[in-house]
Structure 1
Amino acid sequence: MNTKEAILRAALRVIGEQGVAGLTNRRIVAEAGVSLGSLTYHFPSQTALLREAMLLFAADETARLGELARARKADELSVEDAAVAVGRVLEGLPMTIDEIASLELYLQGGRDPGLRDVTARCFAAYDELALTILRTLGVGEPERLVGPVVALIGGLQLRRLATGEAPATPAADALMMLVRGAGR
């Protein structure tokens, strides 16, 4: 890992632990094990740092979810089987500082117009992945379901993260209700 990436990953850990408000140069360099000069060389402002951190998070997340989609695509699953598989993946995800960091970055995008294009790209990646999966499954009018599917999964994950508990309605059941309801 190069210095720039080490700084970005350290910033994500600090954001997850302390929030964006707790993101200081001293915390970042201590976490990354680099000099203050290295930090300021690579990132002249906090906005630049947050922008690059969000891009790194989005790239990592897109690669991870894309791999899951490719693995499931080969299985030729039914919509029901796919919903169960997605539910298992969501339930198996660790609720860690990384997830908290991503939420902090999204919120910061709402506060800082300079970050909105990056957060929009991240959500576009989620949308594209959802669209690919829905098309692969042969769901009718998948474009109509992309936003609701992404929102449902994000909301369920947020609830799980905030409460520490699985939602009363499992993700697979919620996805099936959404997909079946859209077909009416």
Structure 2
Amino acid sequence: MAGPTSRAGVVTTRDAILRATLKVVGEQGVGGLTNRRIVAAAGVSLGTLTYHFPSQTELLREAMLLFAEEETAKLAGIVEGYRAQGLSLEQAATVVEHVIKQLPFGTDELAPHELYLQAARDPGLHEASAKCFAAYDELAITILTALGLPDPQRVAGPVVALIAGLQLRRLATGTDVPAAEPLMMLLHGARG
């Protein structure tokens, strides 16, 4: 799993622990997250883990924020690649469907869903979840603004919810789920 590195170009111990946490959560679920599994996956000592993250809530919160930061940066890069092309709503919906289909069916995609479910159980994760969804909303607002959709702030949340739901359905069923048509229905409805 590639991602942020220190200024020297080396993955920090903290980032290695967070990536290991995401890996374990994706493979085992939050219920299977143990210090032993994390340190084995991160290649660090138990003392190093507890030094950086004294509580599981803090560890999960930071892992969730790292995932959202990397995911929105990746998606923003894709958006930038298409921005100059002046896509129509229909073309943009097709691009979204293509991006969803390119996502792997694996533990990397399961981890954030597991973390969001855990946030429903652990109020200590609510703020991190809110930040994650705010980042997705902001990305959606940027895209919807570029597409010329009126009042993109009003539509961003439902667009994010639709895409997240379609991703969850895809992961849960193991099959591709069409996204362009439901997205177009939502966007055309928003246009009024």
Does structure 1 residue 126 correspond to structure 2 residue 136? yes
Does structure 1 residue 177 correspond to structure 2 residue 185? yes
**Correspondence for 1:149 among 156, 159, 162:** 159
Alignment of 1:16-165 (within 5 A): 16-165=26-175
Any idea what the Cα deviations from partners look like across 1:37-79, whole Å, max 9, x if unmatched?
1111111111111111111111111111111111111211111
TM-score after normalising by structure 1: 0.96
Counterpart CA distance in 1 for 2:152 and 2:78 is 19
Counterpart CA distance in 2 for 1:38 and 1:81 is 48
Counterpart CA distance in 1 for 2:181 and 2:52 is 46
Query: What SS is found at the alignment partner of 2:51?
Result: helix
Return the offset for 1:11.
0.6
Counterpart CA distance in 2 for 1:154 and 1:134 is 17
Return the offset for 1:141.
2.1
Any idea what the Cα deviations from partners look like across 1:92-111, whole Å, max 9, x if unmatched?
11121011100011011111
Return the offset for 1:172.
0.9
Return the offset for 1:144.
2.1
Counterpart CA distance in 2 for 1:90 and 1:153 is 8
TM-score after normalising by structure 2: 0.92
Identity of aligned residues (%): 64
Return the offset for 1:183.
1.9
CA RMSD, 1 decimal: 1.0
Which residue of structure 1 aligns with residue 7 of structure 2?
none
Unpaired segments ≥5 residues, structure 2? 1-10
Equivalent position amino acid for 1:90 in 2: I
Unpaired segments ≥5 residues, structure 1? none
Q: Across the two proteins, how many residue pairs are aligned to each other?
A: 182
